[in-house]
Amino acid sequence: MTSTAGWLDFLGDVDYPENTGAIVKHARSRGVPQCVIDMLGKLPDREYGNAAEVNQAIGDIE
């Protein structure tokens, strides 16, 4: 599996607050690898206020 750390830079470009679906859509539009899209798809379906909240949620599922 490809390391996701470098690909998470796009999170800073998200216009927060955003829900999981919008974050996944933004990732696709930025051309991130499918493994990152898959990981983001596992995030709890809720609204995230900033990139730190998304990173925390990713850490909880990894």
Residue 1 pLDDT greater than 60, yes or no: no
pLDDT at 2 (0 to 100): 47
In a domain, 48, yes or no: yes
- Number of domains comprising the chain: 1
Closest CA to 14 of 60, 51, 57: 51
In a domain, 56, yes or no: yes
In a domain, 42, yes or no: yes
Q: Which residues contact 17 (CB under 8 A, 6 or more apart)?
A: 47, 48, 49, 50
What tens digit of pLDDT does each residue of 5-24 get? Answer: 677 888 989 999 999 999 99
Output the pTM of the full model: 0.86
Residue 62 pLDDT greater than 80, yes or no: no
Range of the domain at 41: 6-61
